[in-house]
Structure 1
């Protein structure tokens, strides 16, 4: 598998982090039949993929419409992702995502799958910013297809995680999920620094080697 594709998948896994959504998914689908629980997981993960695809294909155009340079957005996105990483390493989770007890849950099965499970609990501002950053850095159909492939991989990973939510929660426990979050935070910090450096290189090419 291409190294760049692995890096993008890693960034998506860390930022989307379906494990942080397991308790909310279990609470919302408590008492649901297995078929309905599967439907919620399918809609949520399809929403994640559609969101990634949308910002992959149109993210750079949105920046142009708003008059924001790619370099400026990379610097801002790198800082945001780095702050998320620091908070995760401190055991605070993702600060730009609400806590499970803070979200409003719709009575509609499909609506709950989209909001709050998919947006913002799985893919929030950090994930969307990263999608726009990666898509604005690449040119050509193959490169865009690579990001969409990474989005498909993480969406499937989210689906498997939600369908195994009960077993994963019991296996990892609160301590295991906390340790996993800190490890993901360390990996995310490295991704954030790379995004930030690329942004600075774009803004100040004469200062960057």
Structure 2
């Protein structure tokens, strides 16, 4: 099998940008800051960023390597996952384009729960604010599209890159939210919403085409 560096780099970028956009770590950083009843210290942000990052990465690897087996157990095809995953992402993108944090990744009640919890790093920051239905669907679809060992390796690398971005973003959450402000956060959310919407459209179209072919 010939190794095409350009094609594989393009695939890695596609995976990484898709995952980072859907994770939306900047929004998670804003929630982390607003959820703290008192001022977060440097040690607090370091602990939260580490635990949340490990939570997302471990959950992502479990989804990549065990998710298909679970769906096969119920007779669910990758094409069906692609369609419903695309719909979930489309709903996310509509909220994001309006400058809102998408409720498909987590609910208002879960955001309120973050205020009451002493340790928010794993729940709800790690799950479900970062690792929610949108990310699960995307990982499942990317895994279904991975036809060989190289593609799966690139997907694993993309998860690691995404984890690094999560860690750096949460670690510097106070600085980022102070620099960006409310307007900056909404602009970033809208830009990410465009990317998520484009990914959603691709998933839905490809999924419907694949489901239509056997008919």
TM-score (norm 1): 0.90
1:113 and 2:124 matched? no
Which residue is equivalent to 2:18? 11
Could you tell me which of 182, 192, 199 is aligned with 1:184? 192
1:127 corresponds to which of 128, 131, 135 = 135
* Aligned equivalent of 1:62, options 59, 70, 86: 70
Corresponding residue number in structure 2 for 1:20: 27
Structure 2, unaligned runs of 5 or more:
1-7
Structure-1 separation of matches of 2:124 and 2:80: 30
Aligned partners of 1:116, 1:206: CA distance in 2, in Å?
41
SS of 2:92 mapped into structure 1: helix
Q: Decide whether the 8 Å contact of 2:52 with 2:122 is kept in 1.
A: yes
Aligned equivalent of 1:98: 107
Q: How many residues align?
A: 204
Q: CA deviation at 1:150?
A: 0.5
What is the CA–CA distance in structure 2 between the aligned matches of 1:33 and 1:90, rounded to whole Å? 32
- Alpha-carbon distance in 1 for matches of 2:79, 2:100: 29
The alpha-carbon deviation at position 64 of structure 1 amounts to 0.1
Of 162, 166, 172 in structure 2, the residue corresponding to residue 158 of structure 1 is 166
Q: 1:117 to 1:155 in 2, by over 3 A?
A: same
TM-score by length of 2: 0.87
Residue in structure 1 matched with residue 4 of structure 2 by the alignment: none
SS at 1:142 equivalent:
helix
Tell me if structure 2 keeps the 8 A contact 1:15–1:123. no
Map of 2:5 onto structure 1: none
**2:177 counterpart SS class:** helix
Q: Tell me, yes or no, if the aligned pair for 1:15 and 1:127 is still in contact at 8 Å.
A: yes
Find the aligned partners of 1:40 and 1:201 in 2 and give their Cα distance. 42
Change beyond 3 A, Cα 1:18–1:30: farther
Distance in 1 (alpha carbons) for counterparts of 2:37 and 2:170: 11
The 10-residue stretch of structure 1 (53-62 or 35-44) with the greater mean CA deviation from structure 2: 35-44
Aligned Cα root-mean-square deviation (Å): 1.9
Deviation larger for 72-81 or 83-92? 83-92
SS at match of 1:68: coil
- 1:171 aligned residue (164, 169, 179): 179
Any stretches of 5+ residues in structure 1 without a counterpart? Answer: none
